[in-house]
């Protein structure tokens, strides 16, 4: 393990922002984490953990220590009649972990295929797609406390998961290094094909008896057709969360904008039937005229208004400023507050 100084972060974030880090270290074991944290020449710099860099926006250079988590290994740690308990080290690539589970017939995370990033970041915002979130099959995680230098175990309840939320994104932000995550995966699959275009895609694929393999393939096909590939255009997926509003506010807006896209309790974060509605932020942003717009190299994707993109050499601050303009116009037109999903650094 070596601590490097003043390195470019361009290849370490999917937005492709050319910020730099004062110190940078890659760690592959618990020992290396401890060694890095106790390096006396660092003094007391600010610390940040980096996974695949697919949910971050660097708006300036990072004047501290970035620890890139490269811990590897996947193992079945337990089983009962209905489940395998599968533990993955934090540095495994999420999609490769999903593929490993599918190959071994461990069911439950197939709808989460092709989400970029590493396993260690998956609890940070309780990653979700196509009607499934990791909280549905999360068992526990281990995390190293940066100050007390001990490993802690967090159960599902401890993580306080919500829609794109967890305790690690809020109260415990930047305090823990997640080192492994254990999932409770089914021996007999319970498929979830009701969301969005999955059934239509399975039909188009000629699938009559879906399996976790074909559902995963369908999700990959849909995602590839909708979302820009960060290897081609820099982005971090949805830049904003889909806002959740009261039924009263929803009904007022729906009367004014009958085509407004919204979802009832089934897709609301806490399942509060009838009390809250989730709106499609992509629709709100498109209605404000932002879809396909650019400000310099910062832009709003032409097929998905919820995704902000870097067409080349945009600065993080330029993408951030564009996001502020979008927030302001959505607030002005609809009276709805959007919240950034991407972690701003
Ligand atoms: P990073 O971006 O490296 O880090 C994200 C945050 O987690 C940072 O605050 C970082 O400090 C912290 N962190 C990372 N690893 C650790 C660790 N081991 N311990 C403690 N803190 C840590 N997300 C979804 O939920 N659903 C989607 O469908 C989805 N689609 C996407 C599509 C595209 C094209 C892209 C680019 C992104 C998408 N995302 C989606 C967002 C992103 O893939 C997820 O948030 C992912 O979990 C981020 O993982 P990462 O390893 O890249 O995290
Ligand atoms: N829409 C528009 N215009 C747009 C984009 C979307 O009108 O430019 C409307 C469409 O009517 C569409 C609806 O919005 O039917 C929803 O769009 P989509 O199905 O593409 O999903 P999303 O709400 O944009 C969410 C997640 C994604 C996740 C998909 C599938 C959030 C913030 N985003 O996107 O997660 O992959 O659903 O489940 O919840 C991410 O978090 O980074 C991410 C990509």
CATH number for the domain harbouring residue 292? 3.90.78.10
Task: From 162, 222, 280, give the residue whose CB has the most ligand 2 atoms within 8 Å, as the site to mutate.
Answer: 280
Asked whether residue 223 is domain-assigned, the answer is no
Tally of helices (H runs) and strands (E runs) in the chain: 7, 20
Asked whether residue 225 is domain-assigned, the answer is no
Q: Which of 48, 69, 90 is the last residue of a domain?
A: 69
Q: What's the rounded mean pLDDT across residues 157-183?
A: 96
Q: Which of 186, 214, 245 is the last residue of a domain?
A: 186
Q: Rounded to the nearest whole angstrom, what is the distance from the C-alpha of residue 117 to the centroid of ligand 2?
A: 18
> 221 - beta bridge partners?
none
| Structure confidence by residue, pLDDT tens digits, 104-154 | 999 999 999 999 999 999 999 999 999 999 999 999 999 999 999 999 999
How many residues appear in the chain?
345
pLDDT for position 268: 46
Q: Rounded to the nearest whole angstrom, what is the distance from the C-alpha of residue 280 to the centroid of ligand 2?
A: 6
Give me the helix-helix angle, 212-226 and 94-103, nearest 10°: 150
Q: Cα angle vertex 40, ends 36, 41, to 5°?
A: 95
Co-location of 285 and 305 in the same domain: yes
Co-location of 36 and 120 in the same domain: no
pLDDT of residue 28 exceeding 60: yes
- Ligand that lies nearest to the alpha carbon of residue 259, given by its number in the listed order: 2
Domain encompassing residue 334: 234-344
Q: Rounded to the nearest whole angstrom, what is the distance from the C-alpha of residue 72 to the centroid of ligand 2?
A: 31
Residues with Cβ within 6 A of ligand 2?
129-130, 196, 226, 237-238, 241-242, 261, 280, 282-283, 286, 291, 304-306, 341
Q: What's the rounded mean pLDDT across residues 213-241?
A: 97
| Atom from ligand 2 closest to the CA of residue 236 | 42
- Closest residue to atom 32 of ligand 2, CA basis: 241
Asked whether residue 120 is domain-assigned, the answer is yes
Contact 54, 230 (CB under 8 A): yes
| Atom from ligand 2 closest to the CA of residue 129 | 38
| Structure confidence by residue, pLDDT tens digits, 269-296 | 444 555 889 999 999 999 999 999 999 9
pLDDT for position 136: 96
Per-residue CA distances from 297 to 27, 232, 294 (Å): 34, 14, 7
In percent, the amount of the chain with pLDDT more than 70 equals: 97
pLDDT of residue 211 exceeding 50: yes
Chain Cα centroid distance, residue 322: 21
Asked whether residue 172 is domain-assigned, the answer is yes
| Structure confidence by residue, pLDDT tens digits, 295-313 | 999 999 999 999 999 999 9
pLDDT of residue 5 exceeding 70: yes
Q: Which residues of 60-69 are buried (b: 16+ CB within 10 A; e: fewer)?
A: ebbebbbbbb
Q: First vs last Cα of the chain: how many Å apart?
A: 25
pLDDT for position 266: 52
Contact 152, 167 (CB under 8 A): no
- Closest residue to atom 50 of ligand 1, CA basis: 117
CATH number for the domain harbouring residue 62? 3.30.43.10
Q: Which residue has the tokens 């967890």?
A: 166
Q: What is the largest CA-CA distance in the chain?
A: 62
The residues that are catalytic are 164, 238, 341
Residues 112 and 97: their CA atoms lie apart, in Å, by: 11
> What is the rounded average pLDDT for all residues in the chain?
95
3-state secondary structure (DSSP) of residue 75:
strand
- Closest residue to atom 10 of ligand 2, CA basis: 283
- Closest residue to atom 2 of ligand 2, CA basis: 283
pLDDT for position 228: 95
Res. 20 pLDDT band, cuts 50 70 90: very high
Which contiguous run of DSSP H or E holds residue 73? none
Residues 139 and 126: their CA atoms lie apart, in Å, by: 13
- Ligand that lies nearest to the alpha carbon of residue 163, given by its number in the listed order: 2
Asked whether residue 216 is domain-assigned, the answer is no
Q: What is the dihedral of CA 167, 171, 175, 178, to 10 degrees?
A: 0
CATH number for the domain harbouring residue 105? 3.30.465.10
Residues 286 and 326: their CA atoms lie apart, in Å, by: 10
Rg, C-alpha atoms of the chain: 21
Number of domains in the chain: 3
Res. 184 pLDDT band, cuts 50 70 90: very high
């Amino acid at each position: 393990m070596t601590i490097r100084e003043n390195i470019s972060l361009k290849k370490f974030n999917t937005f492709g922002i050319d910020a730099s880090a004062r110190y940078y270290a890659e760690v592959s074991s618990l020992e290396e984490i401890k060694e890095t944290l106790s390096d006396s020449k660092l003094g007391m710099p600010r610390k940040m953990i980096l996974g695949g860099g697919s949910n971050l926006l660097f708006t300036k250079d990072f004047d501290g220590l970035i620890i890139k988590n490269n811990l590897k290994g996947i193992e079945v740690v337990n089983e009962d009649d209905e489940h395998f308990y599968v533990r993955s080290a934090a540095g495994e690539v999420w999609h490769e972990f999903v593929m490993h589970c599918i190959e071994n017939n461990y069911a439950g995370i197939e709808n989460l295929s092709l989400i970029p990033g590493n396993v260690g970041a998956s609890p940070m915002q309780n990653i979700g797609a196509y009607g499934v979130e990791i909280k549905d099959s999360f068992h526990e995680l281990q995390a190293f406390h940066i100050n007390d230098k001990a490993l802690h175990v967090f159960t599902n309840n401890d993580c306080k998961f919500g829609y794109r939320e967890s305790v690690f994104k809020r109260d415990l932000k930047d305090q823990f290094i997640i080192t492994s995550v254990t999932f409770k995966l089914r021996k007999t699959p319970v498929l979830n094909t009701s969301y969005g275009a999955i059934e239509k895609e399975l039909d188009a694929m000629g699938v009559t008896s879906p399996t976790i393999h074909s559902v995963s393939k369908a999700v990959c096909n849909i995602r590839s057709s909708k979302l820009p590939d960060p290897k081609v255009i820099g982005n971090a997926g949805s830049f904003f969360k889909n806002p959740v509003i009261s039924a009263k506010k929803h009904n007022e807006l729906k009367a004014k904008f009958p085509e407004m896209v919204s979802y009832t309790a089934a897709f609301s974060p806490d399942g509060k039937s009838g009390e809250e509605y989730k709106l499609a932020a992509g629709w709100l942003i498109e209605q404000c005229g932002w879809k396909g717009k650019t400000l310099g190299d910062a832009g709003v994707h032409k097929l998905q208004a919820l995704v902000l993109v870097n067409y080349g050499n945009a600065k993080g601050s330029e993408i951030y400023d564009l996001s502020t303009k979008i927030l302001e116009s959505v607030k002005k037109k609809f009276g709805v507050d959007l919240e950034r999903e991407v972690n701003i650094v």
